[in-house]
A and B are shown apart, each in its own frame.
Chain A
Amino acid sequence: MNLFWTSWTNKHCVVLLTFGVVVGFVCPASAFTAYVSNEKSNTVSVVDTEKMETVKTIKVGQRPRGIELTKDNKYCLVAVGDDDTIQVIDTKSGEVIANLPSGPDPELFILSPNGSLLYVANENGNTVTIIDMEKRVRLGEVQVGVEPEGMGISPDGKILVNTSETTNMAHFIDTDARKIVANVLVDSRPRFATFKSGGSELWVSSEVGGTVSIIDPVKYQVIKKINFAIPGLRSEAIQPVGINITKDGKTGFVALGPANRVAVIDAVTHEVKKYLLVGQRVWHMSFTPDEKYLLTTNGLSNDVSVIDVASLKVIKSIPVGELPWGVAITKQ
């Protein structure tokens, strides 16, 4: 007689018991949905992470780049810069149901930890626009440096970080006062900013400078710069963009653009451990919620690489639309 039991650790896993003795587990590979913005196709590819294939393509506005899911996973938000808006896709129906007043040429944006506010970098306006997500109205804006791009938010939501590409700074913005409280100079063309899960460090990538700056978010000081060197590759080709750090704060991944590689960083010592060869011009990345896989968008080879996080191996390439740019993955 076999008894089937749903384990308390993972509702998707089924524990196989025989007379009360565990004889095995039946765990289906985790099925999540990844949304990939295709900058040239003007589409969003919907990727099933279990089948590891594109299952649907959604038509969106012009030049989709930054892409995120709302905290409840009900909506996928995609910045369509050439239409000067952020579109809201209903993840159930796959239809665009609304446009957000993002300000001109939105590229990257970030939700507040509770999901109520959206902060948008407006590259053309030297501003960060704040949007009320419930009412879908613009609440205000903050003046920042030239060509704002990267957006990071502290885990408590109190500090918003924006990077400006021509000013070469990370601007620390107090989200209550909506004022800049500090500016930290980093290397040329900072593209992306993200906090470690505990908020102890801020990582900022500099695309042209070729480095990642680790910033102490309390002292507003660069405490370490990560440099990259790949034998046989000229230094101009190493252009760090997307950064993802595991929740345990132990491993960081940095997409190196036209170097066609993702650097694996020991997030404690900040040493580069390994370079993983992925598709061409790797831009942004996203973990599956279980952190089993890391998906990377490869702009020039029109595909997504799947990195197995435990073994640090690239296990699959999934064809998507033209010039894939960003990726967001559902929690279910």
Chain B
Amino acid sequence: MNNIKGELVGNNALIRFAVLALAIVLGLNLAARAQDTLDIKIGYLRRAHHQETISLVQMPPPDTGLAGAQMAVKDNDTTGRFLNQRYSLIDWHLKADDDPATAVSELARQGISLIVADLPADDLLKAADAGTANRMLFFNAAAIDDRLRQKDCRANIIHTAPSRAMLADGLAQYLVWKKWVRWFLVVGSHERDKLFAAALTRAANRFGVKIVLEREFKDTGGARRTDSGVVQTQQQMPVFTQEVPSYDVLVVADESEVFANNLPYRTWDPRPVAGSAGLVPTSWDASNNLWGGIQMQDRFIAQFKRLMTSLDMQAWTAVRMIGEAASRQNSADPKIILDFLKGPQLALGAFKGQKLTLRDWDLQLRQPILLTDGRTIVSVSPQLGFLHQFSELDTLGYDRPETQCKLQQ
């Protein structure tokens, strides 16, 4: 009897101890889990791009792009506070001779697998290809080259920057809506000017526009701004725009900022200017206050004491996409992030009046294109009447049936 009782007592004590131990372990586990903050580290990889501009007020600030990413990290962090997530940004500035592949390997070594890139097309491809080994995911916030969405597309590059074709289509739709369908196309002599001209020509063909004349403006070098330059441009530009068949609008492709901003009010015939000057297609402008945009602008100005550029917006959007995916999936894994962003659940709010989603055939972010004269938003494309069976946003840029992109997983 005693023995049995003793055994029972002993067993009870054992059970109690076991339960207690289990409780402690569980409790510790729960406590540890509660403190386990998910760290989401984002690399910001950029190369200095010095851009001379004709207008003094359009000189890009040194932190253009980076500031947008920083603001989005702050926005994500505010949300993260409620979800036990912490976001940080690692700024990596490539020097002139630095190989982007080396930088990517170094970032991977630091445990970073999500990269927002402000890089020219070739650098971006080198970086992304170097990142495949570590399953890194890239967000192209800057390069508008169509080839990155076409034959040079990559399964690990999401594009928040609109493509040249999207910008050109957005502008063309508005000009067609205005019935300005006879264009005088003026093209700069640099490679990217010609690429933009090609996108504008494609848009003209798509939307029934006639280009009455194409003329090149040769860059002969020299300063963008000089003390008394205005005297000469006032005389040069009317002469340059003489003897053109009857046209409605002068459309100019001058991404290199050599001459386009000298055209408005100086053409031989009194005609509006659009493209690289006058009415400009863009993803964002500091004057945009539509759809709650004022809140974005106010927040940005308060933090950085300057106006927000389109590159800032494209970088903000990239980091917000990471935040959107990470907050909903509770993960910083690049594969999980990419799968979420490609999927039907993504409905990104980015002050564009509608949800933004990804094109699954080339990982381009669908987005409206703003048309601005630099002081106000004149219109937003797609325009009314440009229809599409799936999304009217797909009337901008290369649509699924036209794509040459084959995403290699």
A167 in the interface, Cβ–Cβ < 8 Å? Answer: yes
A208–B298 CA distance with the chains assembled, in angstroms: 21
Report chain B residues within 8 Å CB of A165: 292, 295, 349
A145–B349 CA distance with the chains assembled, in angstroms: 15
B333 in the interface, Cβ–Cβ < 8 Å? Answer: no
B81: nearest chain-A partner, CB-CB: A145
Report chain B residues within 8 Å CB of A183: 82-83
B75 touches A237 (CB 8 A): no
Chief secondary structure at chain B's binding surface? helix
In the complex, which of the residues A124, A169, A171, A187 contacts B295, with contact meaning CB atoms closer than 8 Å?
Answer: A124
B226 in the interface, Cβ–Cβ < 8 Å? Answer: no
A234 touches B298 (CB 8 A): no
Report chain B residues within 8 Å CB of A326: none
Interface size bucket, A side? Answer: 20 to 34
A303 in the interface, Cβ–Cβ < 8 Å? Answer: no
A325–B369 CA distance with the chains assembled, in angstroms: 26
Quick one: CB contact mask for A235-271 with B, threshold 8 Å, 1 for yes?
1110100000000000000000010000000000000
B391 touches A189 (CB 8 A): no
B18 in the interface, Cβ–Cβ < 8 Å? Answer: no
Report chain A residues within 8 Å CB of B327: 168, 185
Report chain B residues within 8 Å CB of A167: 75, 78-79, 82
Closest-CB distance, B121 to chain A (whole angstroms): 30
B348 touches A208 (CB 8 A): yes
Closest-CB distance, A39 to chain B (whole angstroms): 12
A124 touches B298 (CB 8 A): yes
Closest-CB distance, A220 to chain B (whole angstroms): 12
Q: A189-B349, A208-B354, A234-B391 are in contact. Are A147 and B82 (CB under 8 A)?
A: no
B355 touches A237 (CB 8 A): no
A188 touches B349 (CB 8 A): yes
B348 touches A188 (CB 8 A): yes
A166 in the interface, Cβ–Cβ < 8 Å? Answer: yes
In the complex, which of the residues A168, A208, A236 contacts B393, with contact meaning CB atoms closer than 8 Å?
Answer: A236
A167: nearest chain-B partner, CB-CB: B79
B292 touches A145 (CB 8 A): no
Q: A146-B79, A236-B391 are in contact. Are A209 and B355 (CB under 8 A)?
A: yes
Report chain A residues within 8 Å CB of B353: 258
In the complex, which of the residues B78, B295, B349 contacts A208, with contact meaning CB atoms closer than 8 Å?
Answer: B349
Interface size bucket, B side? Answer: 20 to 34
Q: A123-B295, A168-B327, A188-B349 are in contact. Are A236 and B78 (CB under 8 A)?
A: no
Closest-CB distance, B401 to chain A (whole angstroms): 18
Report chain B residues within 8 Å CB of A187: 347
A169 touches B349 (CB 8 A): no
A147–B74 CA distance with the chains assembled, in angstroms: 13
| A-B contacts, CB under 8 A, total | 69
A210 in the interface, Cβ–Cβ < 8 Å? Answer: yes
A126 in the interface, Cβ–Cβ < 8 Å? Answer: yes
Quick one: CB contact mask for A158-194 with B, threshold 8 Å, 1 for yes?
0000000111110100000000100101011100000
A250–B193 CA distance with the chains assembled, in angstroms: 61
A208 touches B355 (CB 8 A): yes
A260–B348 CA distance with the chains assembled, in angstroms: 22
A240–B363 CA distance with the chains assembled, in angstroms: 27
B392 touches A234 (CB 8 A): yes
Of residues 344 through 386 on chain B, the ones whose CB sits less than 8 Å from some CB of chain A are 347-349, 353-355
Report chain A residues within 8 Å CB of B126: none
Q: A209-B355, A234-B392, A237-B354 are in contact. Are A146 and B78 (CB under 8 A)?
A: yes
A145 touches B348 (CB 8 A): no
Of A126, A166, A180, chain B has the most CB atoms within 10 Å of the CB of A166
Of residues 302 through 330 on chain B, the ones whose CB sits less than 8 Å from some CB of chain A are 320, 324, 327-328
Report chain A residues within 8 Å CB of B355: 188, 208-210, 235-236
Closest-CB distance, B367 to chain A (whole angstroms): 11
Closest-CB distance, A64 to chain B (whole angstroms): 15
Report chain A residues within 8 Å CB of B320: 166
Closest-CB distance, B305 to chain A (whole angstroms): 16
Closest-CB distance, B21 to chain A (whole angstroms): 31
B357: nearest chain-A partner, CB-CB: A236
B147 in the interface, Cβ–Cβ < 8 Å? Answer: no
A166 touches B349 (CB 8 A): yes
Report chain A residues within 8 Å CB of B78: 126, 145-146, 167
20 A-B pairs besides A123-B295, A147-B295 with CB distance below 8 A are A147-B292, A165-B292, A167-B75, A167-B79, A168-B327, A169-B79, A169-B82, A185-B328, A187-B347, A188-B348, A188-B349, A206-B347, A208-B347, A208-B348, A208-B355, A209-B347, A209-B355, A234-B392, A235-B355, A258-B353
19 contacts between A and B (CB under 8 A): A124-B295, A124-B298, A147-B292, A165-B349, A166-B75, A168-B324, A168-B327, A183-B82, A185-B327, A185-B328, A188-B355, A189-B349, A206-B347, A208-B349, A209-B347, A234-B391, A234-B392, A236-B354, A237-B354
Q: Which residues of A contact B (CB under 8 A)?
A: 105, 123-124, 126, 145-147, 165-169, 171, 180, 183, 185, 187-189, 206-210, 234-237, 239, 258
Those 7 A-B pairs whose CB atoms lie nearest each other, nearest first: A236-B354, A208-B349, A189-B349, A183-B82, A167-B79, A188-B347, A208-B355
